[in-house]
Amino acid sequence: DADVTQTPRNRITKTGKRIMLECSQTKGHDRMYWYRQDPGLGLRLIYYSFDVKDINKGEISDGYSVSRQAQAKFSLSLESAIPNQTALYFCATSDPRDRGREKLFFGSGTQLSVL
């Protein structure tokens, strides 16, 4: 079983719809992240959370919101989806106690298409 699980793997939605991408982890890590990948732009940070009561904006948080329901769960919402939010979305975790705490563990990704 995957340590970091994202659902759904693929999603097609229409402009203006609200959607939620979910992430759960069994690694026991406190830190969780949401990234999006676009061709030619690499991975960009949307939101991150260092514990259940901590939520921080990343570099491209506009149009997104998150919820940290538990240590193991971190969901990303698009309140009103628009076509330029079409991208591959990744959830990741890290352990601050790890000497290499920059080492992120990624899920397999959610391919989102907004029509």
Partner 1 sequence: DQQVKQNSPSLSVQEGRISILNCDYTNSMFDYFLWYKKYPAEGPTFLISISSIKDKNEDGRFTVFLNKSAKHLSLHIVPSQPGDSAVYFCAARAGNKLVFGAGTILRVKS
Residues in contact with partner 1 by the rule CB under 8 A: 4, 35, 40-45, 48, 50, 58, 90, 92, 100, 102-109
3-state secondary structure of 85: helix
Measured distance between the N- and C-terminal CA atoms of the chain, rounded to whole angstroms:
32
Select 1 or 102, whichever has its Cβ closest to partner 1.
102
Taking the complex as a whole, the smallest distance from the CB of residue 77 to partner 1 amounts, in Å, to: 20
Our measurement of the distance from residue 1's CA atom to the centroid of its chain's CA atoms, rounded to an integer in Å, reads 19
Taking the complex as a whole, the smallest distance from the CB of residue 41 to partner 1 amounts, in Å, to: 6
Phi, psi of 13 (to 5 degrees): -140, 175
Select 4 or 76, whichever has its Cβ closest to partner 1.
4
CA distance 83 to 62: 14
Select 38 or 80, whichever has its Cβ closest to partner 1.
38
